Amino acid sequence: MKNLRLIFILASLCTVGIVITQVYWVRRAYVFENKKFDLNVNIALRDVAVKVWEYKQSQAAMYNVVTRVSSDYYFVKINEHIEQEILEHFLKESFTTNDLYTDFVYGLHDCMNNDMEYKRFINLSNRTARPTDFVDIPKTKIENYYFVVYFPTRKDYLASQLTFWMISSVFLVGVLLFMAYIVYVILNQKRLSQMQKDFVKNMTHEFKTPLASIQLASSVLKKPTIIQNPGRLLNYATIIESEAKRLEMQVERVLQMSLGQKRELELNKKMTDIRPIITDVISMYHTKLESRQGIVLADLGEQPVMLNIDIEHMSIALSNLIDNAIKYTPEEVSPKISVILKDQPKQVSLTISDNGIGIDKSNVRHIFERFYRVSTGNVHNVKGFGIGLNYVKAIMDLHEGKIICESEPNHGSSFTIILPKPEAEK
């Protein structure tokens, strides 16, 4: 299990490293495409300026022809007035030559009026066109004719150039998530397998103990001299009966848990006062508590608390909680159990607290799982199958109620059962 956890940790570190590396290369690819776009735009716009000068048969400028004012705006000096159709033709031709199939807005600055003489949106990407105007045109000190180009969909265009990177990243993340899920399933199956092994070991131990007692008692009863001692005869017969009942109880618990897990239990509900049920369950453990000088402090109120419940299954569920409270109290400590019943307007709560060894927070969330047992360093240190609390939760679910556990190591545990009151009383 430790090796599997180590592999899981190393795999997690590798996954994080792969994700970070992928993000890094995607960002580098974006930066590269951004620089490539800017370079192609500069080349295309200078080519347009040269074509304008050739068309106008004027002298070409040598330096600072194209100026990038912002990430989306470019100014191009031409020093000549140019017709809209001609400028648009030159722009389309240069952009397609330089693989710039992106939407743009262009306009010619009129130096006489210090305003845009014309402007137009060009849908060069063959996507659905939407009219776009200049937004907050940056100020410039150029006092001659120039045209400006604005790329309103620059970010979308760059993102489209990274399609391969995006798809590969999504695919990689999907593969990593799938691998993480596989590892989670493996760890979970490993944990369940270990829990089932512990269950089989505990069940074997629980069955072997009474069987050994029965075999020992029966071997003594076979001796002819036992008839001459009625006291011993009765004693060994009582042992056989007691251990047989113990076996019957263990088998019944396993069968009930199997049915409860599959939701095949059919509850025989009826309106009854829950207080006598609690009292009867407590009385079942009178001898066991007396042998350990333990006590049960019960506060059940004076008025009947009527609930629509299955008496038999509710009794077994409460018995499991009382039995656990005794079992998980150290041998050197006298069990002190508190049972408090509260009758509220819409629900009834029953809290069973003890002064036992308590449960760590990391284990509290698992204690209602089938076969789960909190490790105490010795699997047989406290006898049980790890199905009692799971059975209790199953019964509470079937009664549309719930059970809550509050516990701290070395400070005991507190289990609170909450059951809804009958509709007639709501």
Return averaged pLDDT per consecutive 10 residues of the chain, 426 residues in all.
70 81 84 88 91 82 79 84 89 90 85 76 73 57 79 82 80 82 79 71 69 80 79 80 72 61 69 92 83 89 90 87 88 91 91 90 80 55 64 88 90 92 62
What angle is formed at CA 43 by the lines to CA 41 and CA 46, rounded to 5 degrees? 105
Tell me what pLDDT residue 307 has: 92
The pair of three-digit structure tokens given for residue 280, joined into one six-digit string: 């009867």
pTM of the complete model: 0.48
Q: Report whether 195 contacts 386 (CB < 8 A).
A: yes
Cβ–Cβ contacts within 10 Å for residue 289, how many? Answer: 19
Tell me what pLDDT residue 413 has: 92
What angle is formed at CA 300 by the lines to CA 295 and CA 305, rounded to 5 degrees? 150
Rounded Cα gap, residues 179 and 185, in angstroms: 10
Tell me what pLDDT residue 271 has: 92
Residue at 167: amino acid letter: I
